[in-house]
Amino acid sequence: MSKEEAPGQNKTYDIIVNGRPKTVTDHKLTYLAVVQLAYPGEQPADGIVFTVTFSNPHGKDGSMVEGDTQVIKDGIIFNVRKTDKS
């Protein structure tokens, strides 16, 4: 059996980011990956902070900061807020 045929190798996850449905193939997403899903092409910088919270129907809710990774399950909901530190 090739890697392409192995069970679970081509799994997709249906998640919600800022109220919009998204489909991802990664079993884990980093803080920056979630920010990119919400604000494509943008990254945290001097004066710009992204606050990431999540609601997981299959586990606990929480928040993420830069450097964090979250295990992805179908139905997880991410809320990403862009804040100007002025």
Cβ-proximal residues to 83 (8 Å cutoff; 6+ apart), any chain: 48, 49, 50, 51
Q: In this predicted structure, what is the pLDDT of residue 3?
A: 45
Is 4 domain-assigned? no
Is 3 domain-assigned? no
Q: In this predicted structure, what is the pLDDT of residue 1?
A: 39
Provide the whole-model pTM. Answer: 0.84
Is 1 domain-assigned? no
Q: Give the type of residue at 2.
A: S
| CATH assignment of the domain containing 39 | 3.10.20
DSSP 12-59: -EEEEETTEEEEE--SEEEHHHHHHHHSTT---BTTEEEEEEEE-TTS
Alpha carbon of residue 75 to chain centroid: 12
Backbone angles phi, psi at 83, to 5 degrees: -125, 135
β-pairing, 62-64 with 48-55? Answer: antiparallel
Domain count, the chain: 1
Question: 38 lies in which domain range?
Answer: 9-84
Is 35 domain-assigned? yes
Residues of the chain with pLDDT under 50: 1-5
